[in-house]
Structure 1
Amino acid sequence: MDIQRTLLIGAIMLLSFMLLTEWVNFKAVKDDVISTETRLTAGPDTQSSNKPITGMTDTGDLPSAAAAPAVAEPTIGIEDIPAVGAAVDTSTEDTGSGSGNNGNIIQVYTDSLQLAIDLKGGDIVEVALPKFLADIDDPDTPFVLLENNSRRVYVAQSGLIGKNGIDSKARANYQSTASRYEMGAADTLEVDLTWSNDAGIEVTKRFRFLRDSYVVDVDFIINNQSSEAWQGNLFGQIKRDSSAADSGGGGSMGMQPFLGAATTMPDDRFKKFSFEDMQDDPFREQNIGGWIAMIQHYFLSAWIPNPEKTHTYSTRVTNSGFNIAGFTSPAVVVAPGAQQEVSARFYAGPKDQYSLQEISPFLELSVDYGWLWWVAQPLFWLLTKIFAVVGNWGVAIILLTVLIKAVFFKLSATSYKSMANMRRVQPKMADIREQYADDKQKQSQAMMELYKKEKINPMGGCLPILVQMPVFIALYWMLMESVELRHAPFMLWIDDLSVMDPYFVLPLMMGASMFFMQKLNPPPPDPMQAKIMQWLPVIFTFFFLWFPAGLVLYWVVNNLLSMAQQYVITRQIENAGAKA
């Protein structure tokens, strides 16, 4: 099989893969939307996109303490009724007591997080990230990760269930001394919610925030001034509908980022669950330490309970169609007159793998590079080191491409020499085809003799390319998954490397470079193949129109370097042949 036909088949397979993958992604999104609409048919009124959800109830939203690793009395499922979602107010005006939903929502502001906390249950019902914009053209609107309204339900719930849990029969109604908390110039901020009953049980739910951190410490301080021992279990869970995620980045054709839940287990460091998996096969296992997260493109939220305790992790889908991933901790017993504290941490922010690996083991694997992670990981490390020097992610991508090209210089040279030699003997190959036009067997024998005489390996141009393909694919995933490229400017008209080129200059450059590279290759012997090869630059340009600019920039630079190397090698071989 000659090199032209091999390249043609490879290109067709690549295009077919891209089309099939895009269709599968389209169908999956469509099925998720239909599934969500079906599940919520009997749910609350969601006609107005601006109307907060006020009546989402489900008797299975809270976990059962019976599944906890320590002995605890079972609890019946209760109705989990989050208060109306309140958009995080970005103004500085103090709304005073009673802000939000008739005083049920308090707002918290740090340098990294803007939260809305529902006093009913003390749940985090909205998280905005002021360091990440929802839209690059709107510098006043932060990206919203968690929210609770008619557009999306995505909240973080936590509480105390079990024998005496204050959330066992109904969600606890907390009190707060203020409706608005701001970190200001301090390095820490504590927000206390309090609950008490006539029996002498007092619970303080404390949220602790640190400057420049996306981690929230959630502490439950149980003060038992009753005459009997108090027993309960800490739980934390993330509740989300099946709506598509907003990343603020550009979509692209081909492979799509994962949306769903994930956790870590001793036998599987990064275990993923799509919403369909959670519906068909609910998960429940115990693990020492660990975490459980809800993952989307560029961002995630995660509960990280006590790393020294054994917790029960689970995923499930409620009767109302909400996807829930959470944990339940062992039962804690507080003696009469004693006080005890149980804690967990909650993360809501970007998928910054170097920060995530410091929070909990294997949480950094949520930056999912696929099966080629062992190639993508050092590429990302190298990219960040280059960025630290040049200060521009676009320039860093260019320099990374140059370094990768340098590593494969010898392999590429072998491929281009083979192509150049094939091009040099094209006239002799044409004579053989003409001479043995009616005898394919003799034609093949004559071709093999020609290859042997000219010392040409007809597969020499393909094998080096196949060796480099894992690096290309890993780099694709690495650039796709890097939140660092989100809203990262390059130069001139490209102010966001994570979205497509607004003027399609880079895709057109990629197509032009591919066209000129074809001119350096030997033409296919079959006229039909030649016509198809001529159309490939146009077809690839069409697909690359929707790729993020950062990815297209890599391909353009790689093509230009390849074209320069191939041109020099081809001219050297042709000149040597002319002198001979």
Structure 2
Amino acid sequence: MDLQRTILIVGLAVVGYLMVLQWNQDYNKPPELSTTEVVSVGEAPVAQAATGSSDAPVLESDTVVDHGSAASAQLITVTTDTLNVTIDTRGGDIVSVALPEYPKVKSQPDNPFVLLENSQNRLFVAQSGLTGTDGPDRHGHPVFTAAKTSYQLEDGKDNLQVDLTLKTDKADITKRYTFERGGYQVSVDYLIHNTSDQMWRGNFYGQLKRDNSKDPSSEFSSKTTINTYLGAAVRSNEKQYQKVDFDDFASKPFKETVEGGYAAILQHYFVVAWVPGQEQQNTYQTRVVNGNNIISVVEPVVEVKPGQTGEAGAILYVGPKNQEVLAKLADGLNLTIDYGILWWFAKPLFELLKFLHSILGNWGWSIIALTVIVKAVFFPLSAASYRSMAKMRKLSPKLQALKEQYGDDRQKMSQAMMEMYKKEKVNPMGGCLPILVQMPVFIALYWVLLESVEIRQAPFILWIHDLSQMDPYFILPLIMGASMFVQQLLSPTPPDPVQARVMKLMPVIFTVFFLWFPAGLVLYWVVNNLLSIAQQYYITRKIEADPNA
């Protein structure tokens, strides 16, 4: 009995410690400083052919040389069913993107979440251009011209093209944005018509620039917000998904040439990524310029003969972390939906949850159905554990008698206990299994609810309007604590008074931890506890009523 309780207490202590660490990371993370001024977005990479290779461009400097006056630049708005975009004709950069399908807060459905912006609060923009030998962005951003200042995807149309034009001394260049209905990927293509009598050479580059402001998801929640990973990610030669923290951009900059790949910046539920051609060698690099974090990709050299027209470009994804879409764009990009070390279990768990949602139409009921399925799968194992606990409970008077018989002689008492366990065919370790079985499911579901944009602002019933946020009235955590207390009543009482007091405190400790957990996760734990109570009550009463058990 002492061994069993010791293992249980150690296990619960470890779980509690991990929860404290996770709570501290999620809720007690010090806020990062946000910018207070609008930062210039004109810092473009300059590329030239690396020594001995015309296919491996190298970033040189960030000198800004304007190709036009500031007054000549203007902002262009583009509206589709999924994106509200602002393009600056200086460089043709995307300086703002709002997502009308994803409100900032659920109570304001017409106020879209802003993913990219260049404002006093935040700088996060997507830049692209042509650098290299003849690229107009080699020494700074040129100013394009556009036929209109406003574009909108018309009803019945599946795509929208926005052309920006530029004339240089060697080429006529069209920067073409293509927006798709229902999509968050934007094709960015350069059409280069060589008007000179010499070969035109240049490289397409795309880069994401972000300051160190905090994740905007935390600004639009009335509840305590969970902080997930905010930073960059790339596909390296060694990993399909490699995180690159903003803190490492200056101290340990990343630079690698990879076949295919992507350059992304992640935040809670959303991702922005440049996806170049996947069958070519692309160079990725991180750096810090004027306090801003920049991750860029430079494609191989494009050569255009005199009088000919060449093309270069990439896909820009700006939107939610949709696993199916991201997986089709680039190998490893879907891993930006980071389920942690239990990804191998969390991913099928999410697929099952999504399947249940397709039937039930509500994520809360889907979580309940998932809990029932998981409980059914582990029913035989749980039943064996509860039978062991019931037998231990039945033996409690005999254990108490042994304690009184041997007093403080722990060695003799332990020997007597082991002999009794052997005679009664009781496994003192059996009661540990329910907790051990639940924890992987719990942790995997934690990350599923944390990372899946489908759960964002998903309602359940009554007072639960957002399963991804904590219960606003703490009702579910209190029910969860009460259910844990009932489970303790059905469990054998430890003979050691200190252990007994510690076990009685566990429902209180867990309730405090769960106060700030997502309501969907607490819902899973509550339903799991209720099913466990029913199963444990039935088995306990059956064994206690059977004198031969």
- Which interval holds the TM-score relative to the shorter structure? over 0.9
Residue 167 of structure 2 aligns with which residue? 196
Choose the corresponding residue for 2:175, options 189, 205, 208: 205
Evaluate the alpha carbon distance shift between residue 73 and residue 359 of structure 1 in structure 2; reply closer, same or farther with a 3 A threshold: closer
Whether the 8 Å contact between 2:162 and 2:177 is mirrored in structure 1 is: yes
Whether the 8 Å contact between 1:121 and 1:159 is mirrored in structure 2 is: yes
1:345 maps to 2:345 = no
Structure 2 letter corresponding to 1:116: T
Residue 38 of structure 2 aligns with which residue? 53
1:3 maps to 2:1 = no
Residue 61 of structure 2 aligns with which residue? 77
1:64 maps to 2:47 = yes
Evaluate the alpha carbon distance shift between residue 183 and residue 72 of structure 1 in structure 2; reply closer, same or farther with a 3 A threshold: same
Give ranges in structure 2 of 5+ residues lacking alignment: none
Structure 2 letter corresponding to 1:331: V
**Corresponding residue SS for 2:307:** coil
Choose the corresponding residue for 1:278, options 244, 249, 254: 249
**Corresponding residue SS for 1:495:** coil
1:149 maps to 2:134 = no
Structure 2 letter corresponding to 1:356: L
Per-residue deviation at 1:310?
Answer: 0.8
**Distance in 1 (alpha carbons) for counterparts of 2:410 and 2:382:** 32
Q: Residue by residue, what CA displacement relative to the aligned partner does 1:59-100 show, whole Å, maximum 9, x if unpaired?
A: xx5253345962588775234599xxxxxxxxxxxxxxxxx9
Whether the 8 Å contact between 1:161 and 1:235 is mirrored in structure 2 is: yes
Structure 2 letter corresponding to 1:280: S
Structure 2 letter corresponding to 1:246: P
Name whichever of 502-511 and 394-403 sits farther off. 502-511
Structure 2 letter corresponding to 1:340: G
**Distance in 2 (alpha carbons) for counterparts of 1:151 and 1:547:** 28
**Distance in 1 (alpha carbons) for counterparts of 2:7 and 2:325:** 44
1:249-328 maps to which residues of 2 (within 5 A)? Answer: 256-318=227-289, 320-328=290-298
**Distance in 2 (alpha carbons) for counterparts of 1:478 and 1:270:** 18
Residue 19 of structure 1 aligns with which residue? 20
Structure 1 letter corresponding to 2:126: A
Whether the 8 Å contact between 1:4 and 1:522 is mirrored in structure 2 is: no
Whether the 8 Å contact between 1:259 and 1:297 is mirrored in structure 2 is: yes
Choose the corresponding residue for 2:470, options 500, 512, 518: 500
Q: Residue by residue, what CA displacement relative to the aligned partner does 1:159-217 show, whole Å, maximum 9, x if unpaired?
A: 001111101122110111111111021211000111113x2521110000010000000
Residue 100 of structure 2 aligns with which residue? 130
Evaluate the alpha carbon distance shift between residue 56 and residue 108 of structure 1 in structure 2; reply closer, same or farther with a 3 A threshold: closer
Whether the 8 Å contact between 1:414 and 1:464 is mirrored in structure 2 is: no
CA RMSD, aligned part only? 2.5
Whether the 8 Å contact between 2:56 and 2:283 is mirrored in structure 1 is: no
Q: Residue by residue, what CA displacement relative to the aligned partner does 1:460-510 show, whole Å, maximum 9, x if unpaired?
A: 121454244323221221121111000111111111111111121111111
Structure 1 letter corresponding to 2:267: Q
**Distance in 1 (alpha carbons) for counterparts of 2:514 and 2:10:** 19
Choose the corresponding residue for 1:403, options 373, 377, 386: 373
1:225-264 maps to which residues of 2 (within 5 A)? Answer: 225-247=195-217, 256-264=227-235
Whether the 8 Å contact between 1:157 and 1:238 is mirrored in structure 2 is: yes
**Distance in 2 (alpha carbons) for counterparts of 1:145 and 1:54:** 17
Whether the 8 Å contact between 1:108 and 1:180 is mirrored in structure 2 is: yes
**Distance in 2 (alpha carbons) for counterparts of 1:72 and 1:421:** 70
**Distance in 2 (alpha carbons) for counterparts of 1:440 and 1:344:** 72
Evaluate the alpha carbon distance shift between residue 205 and residue 574 of structure 1 in structure 2; reply closer, same or farther with a 3 A threshold: same
Whether the 8 Å contact between 1:393 and 1:488 is mirrored in structure 2 is: yes
**Corresponding residue SS for 1:112:** coil
Choose the corresponding residue for 1:117, options 62, 69, 87: 87
Residue 509 of structure 1 aligns with which residue? 479
TM-score by length of 1: 0.88
Residue 507 of structure 2 aligns with which residue? 537
**Distance in 1 (alpha carbons) for counterparts of 2:40 and 2:174:** 27
**Distance in 2 (alpha carbons) for counterparts of 1:295 and 1:408:** 36
**Distance in 2 (alpha carbons) for counterparts of 1:57 and 1:221:** 22
**Distance in 2 (alpha carbons) for counterparts of 1:162 and 1:502:** 55
Whether the 8 Å contact between 2:170 and 2:200 is mirrored in structure 1 is: no
**Distance in 1 (alpha carbons) for counterparts of 2:331 and 2:58:** 31
Whether the 8 Å contact between 1:494 and 1:501 is mirrored in structure 2 is: yes
Choose the corresponding residue for 1:380, options 350, 354, 362: 350
**Corresponding residue SS for 1:143:** strand
**Corresponding residue SS for 1:269:** coil
Evaluate the alpha carbon distance shift between residue 250 and residue 10 of structure 1 in structure 2; reply closer, same or farther with a 3 A threshold: farther
Evaluate the alpha carbon distance shift between residue 141 and residue 80 of structure 1 in structure 2; reply closer, same or farther with a 3 A threshold: farther
Per-residue deviation at 1:227?
Answer: 2.0
Choose the corresponding residue for 1:562, options 532, 536, 549: 532
**Distance in 2 (alpha carbons) for counterparts of 1:565 and 1:64:** 67
Structure 2 letter corresponding to 1:77: S
TM-score by length of 2: 0.93
Choose the corresponding residue for 1:491, options 441, 461, 466: 461
Name whichever of 16-25 and 171-180 sits farther off. 16-25
Whether the 8 Å contact between 1:125 and 1:146 is mirrored in structure 2 is: yes
Q: Residue by residue, what CA displacement relative to the aligned partner does 1:427-483 show, whole Å, maximum 9, x if unpaired?
A: 000010111013211111111111111111111121454244323221221121111
Choose the corresponding residue for 2:386, options 394, 412, 416: 416
Q: Residue by residue, what CA displacement relative to the aligned partner does 1:379-416 show, whole Å, maximum 9, x if unpaired?
A: 11111111111111111110011000000001111111
Whether the 8 Å contact between 1:221 and 1:341 is mirrored in structure 2 is: yes
Residue 90 of structure 1 aligns with which residue? none
Per-residue deviation at 1:54?
Answer: 5.1
**Corresponding residue SS for 2:82:** coil
Residue 129 of structure 2 aligns with which residue? 159
Evaluate the alpha carbon distance shift between residue 75 and residue 304 of structure 1 in structure 2; reply closer, same or farther with a 3 A threshold: closer
**Distance in 1 (alpha carbons) for counterparts of 2:16 and 2:315:** 45
**Distance in 1 (alpha carbons) for counterparts of 2:57 and 2:99:** 39
**Distance in 2 (alpha carbons) for counterparts of 1:447 and 1:102:** 88
Name whichever of 403-412 and 262-271 sits farther off. 262-271
Whether the 8 Å contact between 1:189 and 1:208 is mirrored in structure 2 is: yes
**Distance in 2 (alpha carbons) for counterparts of 1:158 and 1:131:** 26
Give ranges in structure 1 of 5+ residues lacking alignment: 41-45, 47-51, 83-99
**Corresponding residue SS for 1:160:** strand
Structure 2 letter corresponding to 1:164: D
Whether the 8 Å contact between 1:524 and 1:530 is mirrored in structure 2 is: yes
Structure 1 letter corresponding to 2:8: L
Whether the 8 Å contact between 2:233 and 2:244 is mirrored in structure 1 is: yes
Structure 2 letter corresponding to 1:12: A
Aligned-pair identity (%): 49
